[in-house]
Amino acid sequence: MKILVIEDEIELMLVVQLFLEKEHFIVETAKDYYSGLDKIANYSYDCILLDIMLPGASGMKLLTELRKMGKDDSVIIISAKDSVDDKVEGLELGADDYLAKPFHLAELLARVKSVIRRKNQQGEQVITYKNVCLFPDKRKVMIGSLEVYLNRKEYDLFYHFMVRPERLVEKTSLAEAIWGDDIDQADNLDFIYSQIKNLRKKLKESKAEVDFQAVYGVGYKLV
């Protein structure tokens, strides 16, 4: 899962980044309004942590821009201003949550997981599709009653498909979600194919009822 941290206090940004990376998130960062705008315009994120006071322009404006682009990325506003007006404005503009500074990293993590759960998993702790169960909190995959061990990339890939079963997942968005924003500079995304092939093999060995269906040149579907 990919998270964007837009925060101008470098120290705080690095702490959050390190912490979330330890929790197996892919973390992208932006330090001001314009680099934040570049990020949200060009990529999608499972969750955006947005500071309100940014050099360049306000985080609220960024939120407005994001919704104007028709993107539904979850947004948690992080702000030193703990006023009701701000919270109301942020939530009305389409933020999913509001966290006042200073905050505990544990609380941040819980809220991030919560908004992702709401967005990707319809609030469920377990994602189930056919005979496969995925436990995002434990990063565990069960097929029938057997646990399948997936490496980090395989798990992330599989999660990405499990939260949108039967929907077409494009190669580009897949690469971005799992390898991070920089991968879009790669001119050849064929390497995803080998990852899918490995995953497919593991699923087949565990007698999973799910499989990947390729849409030639575009991407894959989990069916």
Q: What is the spatial distance between Cα 60 and Cα 19, in angstroms, rounded to a whole number?
A: 25
Cα torsion 119, 106, 51, 12 to 10°: value is -140
What x/- string results for residues 47 through 66 when contact with other proteins is judged by CB under 8 A?
A: ------------------x-
Is 36 a binding residue for other proteins by CB under 8 A? The answer is no
Is 18 a binding residue for other proteins by CB under 8 A? The answer is no
Which one among 61, 67, 71, 139 touches other proteins, defined by CB under 8 A? 71
Is 70 a binding residue for other proteins by CB under 8 A? The answer is yes
Per the CB < 8 A criterion, the answer to whether 51 and 78 are in contact is yes
Question: The tokens 């500074």 sit on which residue?
Answer: 101
Is 183 a binding residue for other proteins by CB under 8 A? The answer is yes
Q: 93 to each of 62, 64, 65, 89, 96, how far by Cα in Å?
A: 10, 6, 10, 6, 9
Closest residue by Cα to residue 16 from 46, 7, 139, 179: 7
* Closest separation in Å from C-beta 71 to other proteins: 6
What x/- string results for residues 132 through 171 when contact with other proteins is judged by CB under 8 A?
A: ---------------------x------------xxx-x-
Chain contacts with other proteins (rule: CB under 8 A): 34, 37-38, 40-42, 65, 68-71, 153, 166-168, 170, 172-173, 179-180, 182-188, 190-195, 215-219
